[in-house]
Structure 1
Amino acid sequence: MIKNDLFLRALNGENVERPPVWMMRQAGRYLPEFMEIKKKYDFFTRCQTPELASEITVQPIRRFGMDAAILFSDILVVPQAMDIEVQMKPNFGPYLPNPIRSIADVDRVVIPDVNKELDYVMKAIAMTKEKLASEIPLIGFAGSPWTLLCYCVQGEGSKTFDKAKEFCFTQPEAAHQLLQKITDTTIAYLKAKVHAGVNAVQVFDSWGGMLSPTDYKEFSWQYIQQIIDALKDLAPVIVFGKGCWFALGDMAKSGAAALGVDWTCSARNARYLSGGNITLQGNFDPSRLLSPPEEIKKMVTQMIRDFGKDKYIVNLGHGILPNVPVENAKAFIDAVKEFRP
């Protein structure tokens, strides 16, 4: 039994004494203890070494005592397992030297044995569970098929993902084949994570907002729906689509346990668009963590009042920024823990 099950109860839609809190990207780059590890090991070494990944996962829990931990990893370990080369270049970000641009490229992409190719993730889960000692739940995650396609086709990060969109619009058959391969791999990967011990999973559709509502249904949502259908009876599924406020109505009927919301959508609109019955997660602007701690506390308290304490998980509207002072992150967490209705 998990001792602090606040997060799981909120996912289940139960009444709670206060909403639970965690932060996207809480394991990582804003913490001095993480930076010490970063000096010694490159990015994918940190992801692929279970001892390092599990240590990084629990660092913020030791410091701040969030209500859930999220496994330190990266969405791009999935393409790597599918035999697509992914590098992480310092001061640049992800780089794929052989981007997918044709049906022949798609044909070469493999659907891997996730227990073999991503065994290091499962080992990291086991080690993390041991460190957490049933105190709080552990979240596993994956990128959405569309978001992974963006990197696989573009070959790097982008403000527009124009090459990814061109590929989908000029070679839709090839695009759908690639999306299905990513979806099948992701389902197997998340099932393996649940089997290894994670208590909930989150799908990150970081680039969903790049698509029009019509294109979103075709190139993103139908594949996320497959993932939800395959996982929802095994573990609660959270779907976070950045910039995807227009899809909240469809998302709410999907069988997902909760929906992530970014900071461009107000609590009131998010409740209205999602029908008011599903647990929502979000949506503090990560840049607002650069405000003075006292101001952060006031804003977080107001955010909880806006969303309501039930069917709500306090989080950021995207990942925490590297330049956020540690005391500001602490103010964010403390404001939730000190909240009284």
Structure 2
Amino acid sequence: MHSPLQNDTFLRACEREATPYTPIWLMRQAGRYLPEYRAARARAGDFLTLCTTPELACEVTLQPVDRFPLDAAILFSDILTIPYAMGLGLHFVEGEGPVFERPLRSRADIERLGIPDPETDLRFVGDTLRMIRRELAGRVPLIGFAGSPWTLACYMIEGKGSRDFVQIKGMLYSDPGLLHRLLGLLAEAVALYLNAQIAAGAQAIMLFDTWGGTLSTRAYEAFSLAYMRQVMAALHKEAEGRRVPVILFTKGGGGWLEAMADSGADVIGLDWTVELGIARQRIGDRVALQGNMDPIALYGQPDLIAQEAISILDGYGAGGGHIFNLGHGLTPQTPPEHVALLVDTVHQYRRS
């Protein structure tokens, strides 16, 4: 039995309900900018061990919530847990990021794939979520997440991050049927994985479509958004007597807000290239909005950080349905005291 929720401001904002202040959480709020995270990472020995050891993943999930009065915690994990469980040989290279030893380059590679069982192959994620819920004791809601099928496919086919995505786009234009087969399998895997997260205690879900913005409009609709729609249609929408909202974030997706708003998501995450007030005008009250401060603004002078936050709040305007966040994740060089300033500014501005 979970503890009663003491602060549901974030969840109410997801439902576009009135809240006494604008709630705030931050992408990559558990990360290298925190000295306590760096200490935990050193104890783990490597990033993958940190992600797959429930006690350590729980510890780092709670670190930013213990340090700052944030309105939500987000599971500490990685978007590549599904391909990791598929046996593609994931490891992380310092200064380079994730690398797969066995990227998908042929029909045979794709046909060999199976869907991971969340209760066995990815059990460490469920164990982590249950542990976090116990330790949070109802302080704030817990967000679970996954990478979008398109984003997972990008890493699985390229073998690592890319500037041009030649391998996967080559497949898209030369053998679209094969790519659709992979994306359909990934959509099923992501839905199973996220439903397992909800069963383990996640109170909201976020889909990270990190590389959707690299596509043309037609390709985005067919190869990214269509499969996120499939995922969202398959999700369990209620747990613990309450709706489980879904946040959809496509980095670089500002041109497709209307389509995203009609996708089945409850909240659309925005990067910093989109004017928040204009986004609100374009989609009306169909969904809540999350965002969208440039994370590098947190390198600035304190008074300018506060001004930037207030301009974003003013840009959204009055009424519920706004969750303050960054347009992408916190970076390692961010001063923690600047994060504290941002959280305090956002909380106090609407209250005043």
TM-score range, shorter chain: over 0.9
**Could you say if the C-alpha distance between residues 40 and 26 of structure 1 is closer, same or farther in structure 2, counting changes exceeding 3 Å?**
same
Q: Is the 8 A contact 1:252 1:275 kept in 2?
A: no
2:28 match: secondary structure: coil
Cα distance in structure 2, aligned partners of 1:189 and 1:106: 19
Does residue 325 (structure 1) correspond to residue 335 (structure 2)? The answer is yes
- Root-mean-square deviation (CA), in Å? 1.2
- Report how far residue 280 of structure 1 moved: 0.2
1:110 to 2:153 alignment: no
Percentage of pairs with the same residue: 43
Is the 1:294–1:331 contact (alpha carbons within 8 Å) kept by the matching residues of 2? no
Give secondary structure in 2 for the equivalent of 1:175: helix
1:176-325 correspondence runs (5 A): 176-231=180-235, 233-234=237-238, 235-309=244-318, 310-325=320-335
Note the C-alpha offset of 1:83: 2.3
Higher mean C-alpha deviation, range 327-336 or range 210-219: 327-336
> Aligned match of 1:144 in 142, 148, 162?
148
Contact 1:187 1:230 in 2 (8 A): yes
What is the Cα deviation at residue 232 of structure 1? 5.9
Give the superposition deviation at 1:254.
Answer: 2.1
In structure 1, stretches of 5+ residues that fail to align are none
Can you list the C-alpha shifts for 1:161-190, whole angstroms capped at 9, x where unaligned?
A: 222211221121111111111111100000
Which sits farther off after the overlay, 210-219 or 31-40? 31-40
Query: Does residue 8 of the first structure (1) align with residue 11 of the second (2)?
Result: yes
After superposition, the C-alpha distances for 1:268-308 in whole angstroms (9 at most, x for unaligned) are: 22113323432000000011111112211121112111113
State the alpha-carbon separation in 2 of the partners of residues 170 and 269 from structure 1.
37
Kept in 1, the 8 Å contact 2:291–2:327? The answer is: yes
- Aligned counterparts of 2:172 and 2:286: Cα–Cα separation in 1: 34
- Structure 1 residue 30: Cα displacement: 0.9
Q: Secondary structure at the match of 2:26?
A: coil
- CA shift, 1:16, in A, is 1.0
Output the TM-score relative to the length of structure 2.
0.94
1:70 and 2:74 aligned: yes
* Matching residue of 1:95: 99
Paired amino acid for 2:153: L
Report the alpha carbon displacement of residue 160 of structure 1 after superposing the two structures with TM.
2.0
Task: For residue 100 of structure 1, give the secondary structure of its aligned residue in structure 2.
Answer: coil
Aligned-partner SS, 1:184:
helix
Aligned-residue offset at 1:15: 0.8
Distance 1:232 1:314, change over 3 A: farther
Following TM superposition, by how much is the alpha carbon of 1:147 offset from its aligned partner in structure 2, in angstroms? 0.5
What SS does the aligned partner of 1:284 have?
coil
2:31 matches 1:28: yes
CA distance in 2, matches of 1:277, 1:201: 18
1:18 paired residue number? 21
Q: 3-state SS of the aligned residue for 2:120?
A: helix
3-state DSSP of counterpart to 2:349 = coil
The superposition leaves residues 60-82 of structure 1 with CA deviations (integer Å, 9 ceiling, x where unpaired) of 00101200000000001111112
Residue 336 (structure 1) aligns with: 346
8 Å contact kept, 2:82–2:116: no
Q: Which sits farther off after the overlay, 243-252 or 135-144?
A: 243-252
Counterpart contact for 2:247–2:267, Cα < 8 Å: yes
Secondary structure of the 2:92 match is: strand
Alignment-derived partner of residue 241 in structure 2: none
Contact 2:183 2:227 in 1 (8 A): yes
In structure 1, give the amino acid aligned to 2:135: K
In structure 1, C-alpha distance between the alignment counterparts of 2:330 and 2:37, rounded to whole Å: 14
What is the rounded CA distance, in whole Å, between the counterparts of 2:236 and 2:217 in structure 1? 24
CA contact (8 A) 2:251 2:270 kept: yes
Counterpart among 34, 46, 61 of residue 50 in structure 2:
46
8 Å contact from structure 1 (residues 281, 313) kept in 2: yes
8 A contact 1:232–1:255 mirrored in 2: no
